[in-house]
Amino acid sequence: MSHKQGFRVELAPTEEQAILMGRHCGLSRVVENFCLETVQKKKAQQEAEKTYGITGDELTKVPWSAPALEREWRAAHPERYPWFADGKLSSRVPKEACRVRAAGIKNFFDSKTGNRKGAKLGWPKWRKRKHGSRFRYDADRAKPLGAHAVRLPAIGEVATREDMSWLTDRMATGNARILGATIREQAGRWWISFQVEVDRDDINKRHQVDDDAPACGIDLGLKTFAVIRDSDGTREEIHAPKPLKAALRQLKRANRKLARSAEDSRNRAKARKRVGQLHLRVADRRGDFLHKTTTRLTRTKSAIAVETLHVKGMVKNRRLSRAISDAGFGEFIRQLGYKADWYGSRIWKADRWFPSSKTCGHCEQINRALALADRVWVCTGCGTLHDRDDNAAGNLLAAMLADTNA
């Protein structure tokens, strides 16, 4: 069975190759902004024409689709952006930039009309340098040349710092194909992310969860990242590394140094790079913890009961927002979802308003007066002493088992 997944490796470009990749990042940003400008101008022109009584085919056509935006770019760039042809840049990058911008506009309208699930999306914004450096190739234009090199159109053969045998071996046997590739820069380092359609059956069977594996309930929190109650009676606590909290002092010092450096100076460039390196390390530590934890759980638990957290609402609490963001609850739940599908586990999500912490695990009486600061509480109905997190994990497990049996 084929699955879509990402495969990311770090590149080791030469100085000349890094400069070329930087130019392609700028090209992608220019094309995306050109597409947005074109759509907005032609939409405004169309609205003005309607007030003049113009209707039907006589109205100015708005280029909503990627092919239409690409035609606009091809017609405009010889005069507006002559450096595109002179710089020998890849023509695949504007093509993907048009596609990305068209997809963003479509998502906005689908969200507005209710055809797209999730939070409401706003109108696409202008791309700026501070929003990150990245560009994309379509299909397999960018592809591995071996286990330690990739070919990038208009850039050439670029070495990688990591082995790609996992991908190249499957491509050689026809079990994987590349759907697209994104090149991104952060803190002076470059990565390529392949979007791959791969047959994972051999991997999933090797790590398939055992038939007699226990089910579990997981209560997420800030003091203890996760308290896990298994159906066989065992209990486990998982503590997060809290990478942002650990790096705050260094980040404050680095940002202070950046703010004090002169504009466009070498010291400012070095200070900016230092801030980027610290943020990258924080993200890598958090990602490493989440991936290792979710992989272990989905390979060892037959079913997992979790809460449905409204993280966007939780971070509005300004006293806890930094700690909540540092924990990565949303990413944890997301990773559990797709990895459970890989390894044969099952995810059960409680209703958002399910009172897992306030419900007594013995008599099921709900303690409406329970406050967030109460880590231990006594049930007024049966007198049972509860640890807040352990009780919540047990209630989630019980609710999942009851729902499954029903």
Please report, as a single letter, which amino acid is at residue 130. Answer: K
- Angstrom distance (rounded) from CA 25 to CA 32: 11
The per-residue pLDDT for 384 is 86
Of 63, 6, 58, which is closest to residue 40 (Cα–Cα)? 63
- Angstrom distance (rounded) from CA 254 to CA 402: 52
Confidence of residue 52 (pLDDT cuts 50, 70, 90): confident
Span of 50-64, 94-108, 136-150, 265-279 with lowest mean pLDDT: 50-64
- Angstrom distance (rounded) from CA 125 to CA 104: 10
Cβ 31 vs Cβ 24: under 8 Å: no
Please report, as a single letter, which amino acid is at residue 26. Answer: G
Q: By percentage, how much of the chain surpasses pLDDT 90?
A: 75
Span of 33-42, 85-94, 279-288, 291-300 with lowest mean pLDDT: 85-94
Please report, as a single letter, which amino acid is at residue 107. Answer: N
Span of 65-69, 85-89, 124-128 with lowest mean pLDDT: 85-89
The stretch 388-402 carries a mean pLDDT of: 93
The per-residue pLDDT for 368 is 87
The per-residue pLDDT for 108 is 94
String of DSSP letters for 328-377: THHHHHHHHHHHHHHHT--EEE--TT--TTTB-TTT--B-TT--TT-SEE
User: Nearest 5°: phi and psi at 357?
Assistant: -80, -30
The stretch 107-130 carries a mean pLDDT of: 90
Query: Token pair of 378, please?
Result: 């006594």
The per-residue pLDDT for 152 is 95
- Angstrom distance (rounded) from CA 290 to CA 226: 11
String of DSSP letters for 203-222: HHHHTPPPTTPPEEEEEE-S
The per-residue pLDDT for 158 is 96
The stretch 72-84 carries a mean pLDDT of: 94
Q: Residue 222: CB partners within 8 Å, gap ≥ 6?
A: 320, 323, 324, 327
Confidence of residue 237 (pLDDT cuts 50, 70, 90): very high
The per-residue pLDDT for 56 is 82
Task: Estimate to the nearest angstrom the gap between the alpha carbon of 341 and the chain centroid.
Answer: 18
Task: Kindly tell me if the per-residue pLDDT of 107 is higher than 90.
Answer: yes
Q: Residue 159: CB partners within 8 Å, gap ≥ 6?
A: 11, 12, 13, 148, 149
The stretch 177-203 carries a mean pLDDT of: 93
The per-residue pLDDT for 361 is 86
DSSP 80: H
Please report, as a single letter, which amino acid is at residue 185. Answer: E
- Angstrom distance (rounded) from CA 19 to CA 152: 14
- Angstrom distance (rounded) from CA 242 to CA 329: 12
Return the ∠ at Cα 134 (arms to 99 and 164), rounded to 5°: 100
Q: Could you report the per-residue pLDDT of 346-384, keeping only the tens digit for each?
A: 999 999 889 999 999 888 888 888 888 888 989 888 888
Confidence of residue 103 (pLDDT cuts 50, 70, 90): very high
What mean pLDDT is reported for the chain?
92
Q: By percentage, how much of the chain surpasses pLDDT 70?
A: 100
Span of 29-43, 254-268, 368-382 with lowest mean pLDDT: 368-382
DSSP run (H or E) holding 235 = strand 235-238
Confidence of residue 16 (pLDDT cuts 50, 70, 90): very high
The per-residue pLDDT for 124 is 93
Task: Kindly tell me if the per-residue pLDDT of 1 is higher than 80.
Answer: no
Confidence of residue 293 (pLDDT cuts 50, 70, 90): very high
Cβ 92 vs Cβ 153: under 8 Å: yes
Cβ 196 vs Cβ 7: under 8 Å: yes
Q: pTM here?
A: 0.88
Domain ranges within the chain, ordered by starting residue: 2-201, 215-405
Confidence of residue 272 (pLDDT cuts 50, 70, 90): very high
Strand partners, 48: none
Helix axes 266-300, 243-260, angle to 10 degrees: 170
- Angstrom distance (rounded) from CA 192 to CA 208: 29
Looking up tokens 């586990």 gives 345
- Angstrom distance (rounded) from CA 300 to CA 214: 8
Looking up tokens 């989440």 gives 290
The per-residue pLDDT for 51 is 87
Of 90, 83, 185, 93, which is closest to residue 131 (Cα–Cα)? 185
Task: Kindly tell me if the per-residue pLDDT of 390 is higher than 80.
Answer: yes
Task: Kindly tell me if the per-residue pLDDT of 131 is higher than 90.
Answer: no
User: Nearest 5°: phi and psi at 350?
Assistant: -75, 160
- Angstrom distance (rounded) from CA 119 to CA 300: 33
The stretch 90-106 carries a mean pLDDT of: 95
